[in-house]
């Protein structure tokens, strides 16, 4: 089996598609593209594919990752061009890399995600000082839903999961933030939860205009590195 | 329409609904056209949710049929779920099509497919949401035409106040003929009524306002007569003569979200020759016409290629009756094994042959098998002409149990003509015999966890069946029968489920209603009825209120035995199967005489006289 990592965009046309629906959509696009997929063993064989991280409904992304297993040599250019002909509007493969043997999966690697967040406040505000005081806190408690426990709320400290949070641009009440948050199985912070805590801290009302994931990273001994550069055989 | 409204729907409304994936409209193979080249805009409306409507084969066919025409843009519309509806009403957003998100009130046609009587209030609700006048009498020169088709259109009368015209029978040819008449009408700048007059000349088209209905003192119909020249006295349904040359799309829309039937539906034949007397589909879809194996293989190839689906389902009323089923199944299986495209065989009568086929087909053991004996005693099965014996059933479930199945579903109807409590108890008896047969398989060899599910629906007499003259059971009688079965089936290994008698009662009224009950539909909608086919939305008390407000007794339609010579509300509709044949079948039914499958010998139903030269083999 040859493992290939695909980096793709999830645009506005597909932002309301749940993760499960996305999996099915890719399976069918891969079939239409005649990508020679490897199938799992067992009673209910399914094509070998795994996504780095599920994206929230309503969030677009410029940097999603999917690992697939193929059983024939196929060039990355070929895969990109074939898949881009069979993916529905709102999904596009940007890059592909053939992985080294026994490479770790994107899902196992992912540790951080970068987002840009577009907010609109009721009034013009001093966002710089708000962000500074927000980040100065030793603990930032937030109430997180637990999907596996009937969506019961649990208090978590999200401060350690905020790696970066800064202002990208401001036009009066319109703010664009850039943030790097923990993402993956060890620690995971959704941007919505960060915004909930920020709202509480600022005591200001704002509307979330857009959230976009920009890139997914892995932590290589403290250095944040793009998933595409890891275990890349080429 | 203002571009901002489209964006507003997408960006502001959809994030606030439970399943925004229902309203996206950019699915793979969905058709998006540049409006500059478009002469006719058609909103194909399914009066139920996306998940239900997208599973419907007829819509898939007609959507692409229309869109293959350069100057026609056909878009899909489903009933918005109540969460989106509430937002739309709060913010004054009108009903829009999925593809362009344009308001459908500005389209040339708004077409509804009628699959189920209990979706009728959704039609009114959708017209209201769209801002289209709900009554045909209120629509003026600038308004869209509201058209309907599908199986329930064979008794169009309950919708005659609402729908401008109906298309009866198969749509592949008729639809394009209507579109051509519309092109010519539009180019000549004629009056609205003139279009309906021109369309009524197309075979299969029925314009209710061109007919006058008069009534006798006892409320039965006295006459149904055209009220102008050139309108046919009887409207004949349309039939495609040769299915192999009929239009079938080589691509289908592949939904993002999970729908009821999320797979390729390969239509292997139309019609059914079994002649079950309760079954409307078995009568109205005649004659039987098969596609050839070659045709089906070629269709399958195109559809697999264009959709990427991992499953093909053979679609028909009775899959086992396809004359070359094993050849087709084997060829499909061997062709797609390496591509891992699976095959499913619904509507299969289970016998030893089909069981073997099923096991070959289903590489993964599916735990459940479904059988439909329909009635509990041989006497009653003869009445309904369901030519299955107890021995057949026990042999079939036996073969299934022997090969490891342990989950069996048995479908029955209660309230069938001539039924007694003894027949009802026969349902439970049959259940026990099935259970006994399971325990005859030695313990080590049988599947674990026996479960025999027995479901009873309540019989609803339908137009164009031999039972169209029969009264429906009273609600009390249905309940009593259900209670008896609940009592008898209280045992480990059984589960019993039954349908709501109140719902069956209302369904029976609209199945055989006349045009006077159009106003009841309107009233029920005004009082808040919609999505009546959904348990959580069905409001029985409200329906009774609507009948009362309109001064109409629902029992007149559902529980009255009709005289054989009575003029029925659909007597001006010709489905090919003759009244003479239905009468003779009815009389045979009451005597318990069966009629054989007409594949071997013609039983004279009349369908071969519908078309010149005949369509039956």
Q: What is the pLDDT of residues B288-347, one digit of tens each?
A: 999 999 999 999 999 999 999 999 999 999 988 999 999 999 999 999 988 889 898 887
For residue A221, is it left (φ>0), alpha (ψ between -120 and 50) or beta?
Answer: left
The verdict on residue A233 lying in a domain is no
* Residue range B401-437, pLDDT digits in tens: 988 889 999 999 999 999 999 999 999 999 999 999 9
Nearest by CB to residue A18, choosing from B21, B306, B307, is B21
Domain closes at, from A64, A98, A132: A98
pLDDT higher than 90, residue A231: no
B218 token code pair: 């006892």
- Contact between chains at A18 and B258 (C-beta distance less than 8 A): no
B20 touches chain A (CB under 8 A): yes
Q: What is the mean pLDDT of residues A49-68?
A: 96
Closest residue on chain A to B307 (Cα):
A32
Alpha helices for B131-279 (secondary structure H)? 171-188, 192-199
CATH of the domain at A145: 3.30.2350.10
User: Residue written as tokens 């509709």?
Assistant: B573
Q: How confident is the model at residue B1 (pLDDT cuts 50, 70, 90)?
A: very low
Residues of B in contact with A28 (CB under 8 A): 28, 254, 307-310
Domain closes at, from A78, A98, A118: A98
Q: Are residues A213 and A159 in the same domain?
A: yes
pLDDT higher than 80, residue B2: no
Nearest by CB to residue A16, choosing from B21, B308, B339, is B21
Residue B316: burial class (beta carbons within 10 Å; 0-12, 13-18, 19+)? buried
Q: Are residues A208 and A138 in the same domain?
A: yes
Nearest by CB to residue B24, choosing from A16, A29, A86, is A16
Sign of CA dihedral B422, B427, B428, B429: positive
**pLDDT at site A67:** 96
Q: Are residues A88 and A118 in the same domain?
A: no
Mean pLDDT over the full length of chain B: 94
pLDDT higher than 60, residue B364: no
pLDDT higher than 80, residue B349: no
Least confident range from A19-23, B78-82, B343-347, B417-421: namely: B343-347
With a CB-CB cutoff of 8 Å, which residues 439-498 of chain B face chain A?
A: none
pLDDT higher than 90, residue A50: yes
B258 touches chain A (CB under 8 A): yes
Nearest CA-CA partner of A99 in A222, A8, A29, A6: A6
User: What domains are defined for chain B?
Assistant: 3-234 (3.40.50.280), 263-365+576-617 (3.30.750.210)
Rounded to a whole number of angstroms, the distance from the CA of A104 to the nearest CA of chain B is 27
With a CB-CB cutoff of 8 Å, which residues 260-279 of chain B face chain A?
A: none
Q: CA A164, CA A183: separation in Å to the nearest integer?
A: 13
B585 token code pair: 């079948």
Could you give the angle at which helices B421-439 and B390-402 cross, rounded to 10 degrees?
Answer: 30
Q: CA B211, CA B572: separation in Å to the nearest integer?
A: 10
pTM, two decimals, is 0.95
Q: CA B77, CA B98: separation in Å to the nearest integer?
A: 6
Q: CA B571, CA A117: separation in Å to the nearest integer?
A: 65
Q: How confident is the model at residue B616 (pLDDT cuts 50, 70, 90)?
A: confident
Q: CA B126, CA B88: separation in Å to the nearest integer?
A: 12
B189 touches chain A (CB under 8 A): no
* Residue range B451-474, pLDDT digits in tens: 999 999 999 999 999 999 999 999
Q: What is the mean pLDDT of residues B29-52?
A: 97
Nearest by CB to residue B257, choosing from A21, A27, A45, is A21
Q: Are residues A46 and A118 in the same domain?
A: no
The verdict on residue A232 lying in a domain is no
Q: What is the mean pLDDT of residues B54-78?
A: 97
Q: Write out the residue range of the structural domain in which residue A55 sits.
A: 2-98
B230 touches chain A (CB under 8 A): no
* Residue range B226-258, pLDDT digits in tens: 999 999 999 999 999 999 999 999 999 999 999
pLDDT higher than 90, residue B30: yes
Residue B121 and residue B529 in contact, taking contact as beta carbons nearer than 8 Å: yes
Residues of A in contact with B14 (CB under 8 A): 16
pLDDT higher than 90, residue B101: yes
Q: Are residues A93 and A198 in the same domain?
A: no
Q: Are residues A143 and A169 in the same domain?
A: yes
Q: What is the mean pLDDT of residues B489-512?
A: 97
Q: How confident is the model at residue B538 (pLDDT cuts 50, 70, 90)?
A: very high
pLDDT higher than 50, residue B215: yes
User: Residue written as tokens 């735990």?
Assistant: B367
pLDDT higher than 70, residue B351: no
Residues of A in contact with B309 (CB under 8 A): 28, 31
The verdict on residue A230 lying in a domain is no
The verdict on residue A234 lying in a domain is no
The verdict on residue A205 lying in a domain is yes
CATH of the domain at A86: 3.30.70.580
Per the structure, how many domains does chain A have?
A: 2
Residues of B in contact with A18 (CB under 8 A): 21, 257
Q: Are residues A120 and A185 in the same domain?
A: yes
Whole-number percent of chain B with pLDDT over 90 = 87
Q: Coil, strand, or helix at residue B266?
A: strand
Q: CA A213, CA B143: separation in Å to the nearest integer?
A: 45
B236 token code pair: 């004949």
Q: What is the mean pLDDT of residues B367-374?
A: 84
Rg of chain B over all Cα atoms, to the nearest angstrom: 25
Buried b (16+ CB within 10 A) or exposed e, B3-41: eebeeebbeebbeebebbbbbbbebbbbbebeeeeeebb
Q: Coil, strand, or helix at residue B562?
A: coil
Sign of CA dihedral B43, B46, B48, B52: negative
Q: How confident is the model at residue B366 (pLDDT cuts 50, 70, 90)?
A: low
**pLDDT at site A150:** 84
Q: CA A223, CA A226: separation in Å to the nearest integer?
A: 10
Rounded to a whole number of angstroms, the distance from the CA of B255 to the nearest CA of chain A is 8
Rounded to a whole number of angstroms, the distance from the CA of B308 to the nearest CA of chain A is 4
Q: Give the DSSP H or E segment for A108.
A: helix A106-109
Phi first, then psi: what are they for B297, rounded to 5°? -65, -40
The verdict on residue A140 lying in a domain is yes
Q: Are residues A113 and A206 in the same domain?
A: yes
**pLDDT at site B613:** 65
Q: How confident is the model at residue A170 (pLDDT cuts 50, 70, 90)?
A: very high
The verdict on residue A181 lying in a domain is yes
A77 touches chain B (CB under 8 A): no
Q: Are residues A125 and A217 in the same domain?
A: yes
Rounded to a whole number of angstroms, the distance from the CA of B408 to the nearest CA of chain A is 22
Q: What is the mean pLDDT of residues B150-175?
A: 97
Residue B95's DSSP bridge partners are none
* Check: complex ipTM more than 0.85: yes
**pLDDT at site B3:** 55
The verdict on residue A167 lying in a domain is yes
Q: Are residues A140 and A45 in the same domain?
A: no
Strands (E), chain A: 2-10, 49-51, 60-70, 91-98, 110-121, 141-146, 152-157, 162-171, 174-182, 206-220, 223-226
Nearest CA-CA partner of B166 in B235, B91, B69: B235
B557 token code pair: 């339609």
> For the residues of B353-370, what is the DSSP string, one character each?
HHHHHHHHH-SS--SEEE
Rounded to a whole number of angstroms, the distance from the CA of A44 to the nearest CA of chain B is 7
Q: Are residues A114 and A216 in the same domain?
A: yes
Residues of A in contact with B254 (CB under 8 A): 28, 88
Residues of A in contact with B257 (CB under 8 A): 17-18, 21
Domain closes at, from A98, A123, A139: A98
- Contact between chains at A14 and B256 (C-beta distance less than 8 A): yes
Which pairing describes strands B342-344 and B72-78: parallel, antiparallel, or unpaired? unpaired
Q: Are residues A46 and A120 in the same domain?
A: no
């Amino acid at each position: 089996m040859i493992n290939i990592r695909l980096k793709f965009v999830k645009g506005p046309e597909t932002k309301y598609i749940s993760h499960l629906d996305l999996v099915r959509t890719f399976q069918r696009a891969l079939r239409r593209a005649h990508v020679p997929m490897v199938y799992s063993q067992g009673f209910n064989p399914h094509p070998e594919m795994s996504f780095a991280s599920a994206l929230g409904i309503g969030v677009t992304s410029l940097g999603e990752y999917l690992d697939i297993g193929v059983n024939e040599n196929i060039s990355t250019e070929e895969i990109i061009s074939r898949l881009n002909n069979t993916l529905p509007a709102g999904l596009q493969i940007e890059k592909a890399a053939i992985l080294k043997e026994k490479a770790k999966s994107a899902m196992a690697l992912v540790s951080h995600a970068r987002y840009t967040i577009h907010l609109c406040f009721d009034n013009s505000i001093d966002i710089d000082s708000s962000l500074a005081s927000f980040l100065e806190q030793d603990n930032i408690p937030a109430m997180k839903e637990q999907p596996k426990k009937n969506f019961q709320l649990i208090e978590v400290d999200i401060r350690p999961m905020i790696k970066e949070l800064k202002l990208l641009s401001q036009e009066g009440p319109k703010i664009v933030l850039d943030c790097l948050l923990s993402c993956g199985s060890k620690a995971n912070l959704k941007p919505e939860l960060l915004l909930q805590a920020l709202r509480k801290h600022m005591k200001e009302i704002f509307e979330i205009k857009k959230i976009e994931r920009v890139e997914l990273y892995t932590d290589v001994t403290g250095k944040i590195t793009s998933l595409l550069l890891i275990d890349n055989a080429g | 329409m203002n571009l901002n409204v489209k964006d507003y729907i997408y960006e502001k409304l959809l994030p606030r609904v439970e399943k925004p994936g229902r309203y996206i409209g950019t699915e793979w193979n969905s058709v998006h056209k540049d409006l500059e080249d478009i002469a006719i805009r058609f909103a194909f409306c399914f009066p139920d949710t996306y998940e239900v409507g997208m599973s419907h084969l007829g819509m898939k066919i007609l959507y692409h049929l229309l869109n293959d025409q350069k100057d026609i843009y056909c878009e899909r519309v489903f009933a918005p779920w109540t969460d989106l509806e509430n937002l739309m009403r709060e913010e004054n957003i009108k009903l829009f099509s999925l593809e362009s998100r344009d308001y459908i009130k500005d389209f040339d046609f708004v077409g509804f497919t009628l699959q189920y009587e209990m979706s009728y209030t959704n039609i009114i609700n959708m017209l209201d949401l769209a801002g289209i006048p709900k009554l045909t009498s209120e629509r003026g020169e600038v308004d869209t035409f509201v058209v309907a088709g599908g199986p329930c259109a064979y008794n169009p009368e309950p919708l005659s106040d609402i729908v401008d015209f109906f298309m009866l029978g198969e749509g592949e040819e008729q639809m394009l003929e209507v579109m051509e008449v519309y092109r010519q009408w539009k180019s000549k700048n004629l009056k609205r009524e003139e279009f309906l007059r021109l369309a009524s000349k197309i075979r299969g088209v029925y314009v209710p306002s061109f007919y006058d209905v008069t009534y006798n003192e006892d409320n039965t119909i006295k006459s149904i007569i055209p009220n102008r020249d050139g309108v046919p006295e009887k409207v004949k349904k349309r039939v495609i003569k040769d299915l192999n040359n009929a239009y079938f799309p080589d691509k289908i829309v592949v939904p993002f979200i999970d729908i009821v039937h999320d797979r390729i539906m390969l239509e292997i034949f139309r019609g059914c020759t079994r002649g079950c007397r309760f079954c409307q589909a078995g009568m109205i879809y005649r004659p039987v016409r098969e596609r050839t194996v070659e045709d089906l293989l070629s269709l399958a190839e195109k559809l697999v290629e264009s959709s990427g689906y991992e499953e093909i389902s053979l679609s028909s009323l009775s899959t086992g009756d396809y004359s070359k089923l094993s050849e087709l199944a084997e060829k499909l299986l061997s062709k797609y094994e390496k591509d891992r495209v699976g095959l499913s065989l619904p509507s299969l009568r289970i016998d030893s042959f089909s069981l073997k086929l099923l096991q070959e087909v289903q590489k993964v053991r599916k735990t459940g098998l479904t059988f439909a004996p329909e009635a509990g005693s041989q006497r009653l099965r003869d009445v309904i002409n369901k030519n299955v014996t107890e021995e057949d059933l026990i042999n079939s479930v036996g073969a299934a149990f022997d090969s490891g199945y342990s989950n069996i579903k048995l479908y029955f109807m209660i309230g069938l003509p001539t039924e007694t409590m003894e027949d009802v108890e026969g349902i439970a008896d049959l259940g026990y015999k099935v259970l006994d047969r399971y325990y005859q398989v030695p313990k080590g060899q049988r599947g674990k966890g026996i479960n025999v599910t027995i479901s009873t629906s309540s019989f609803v007499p339908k137009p164009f069946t031999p039972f169209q003259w029969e009264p429906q059971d009273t609600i009390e009688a249905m309940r009593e029968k259900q209670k008896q079965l609940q009592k008898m089936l209280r045992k480990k290994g059984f589960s019993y489920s039954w349908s709501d008698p109140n719902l069956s009662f209302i369904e029976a009224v609209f199945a055989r209603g006349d045009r006077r009950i159009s106003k009841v539909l309107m009233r029920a909608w005004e009082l808040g009825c919609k999505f009546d086919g959904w348990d959580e939305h069905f409001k029985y008390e409200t329906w009774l209120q609507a009948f009362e407000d309109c001064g109409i007794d629902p029992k007149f339609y559902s529980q009255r035995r009709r005289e054989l010579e009575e003029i029925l509300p659909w007597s001006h509709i010709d489905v090919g199967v003759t009244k003479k044949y239905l009468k003779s079948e009815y009389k045979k039914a009451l005597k318990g005489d069966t009629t054989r499958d007409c594949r071997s010998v013609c039983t004279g139903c009349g369908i071969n006289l519908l078309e010149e030269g005949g369509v039956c083999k």
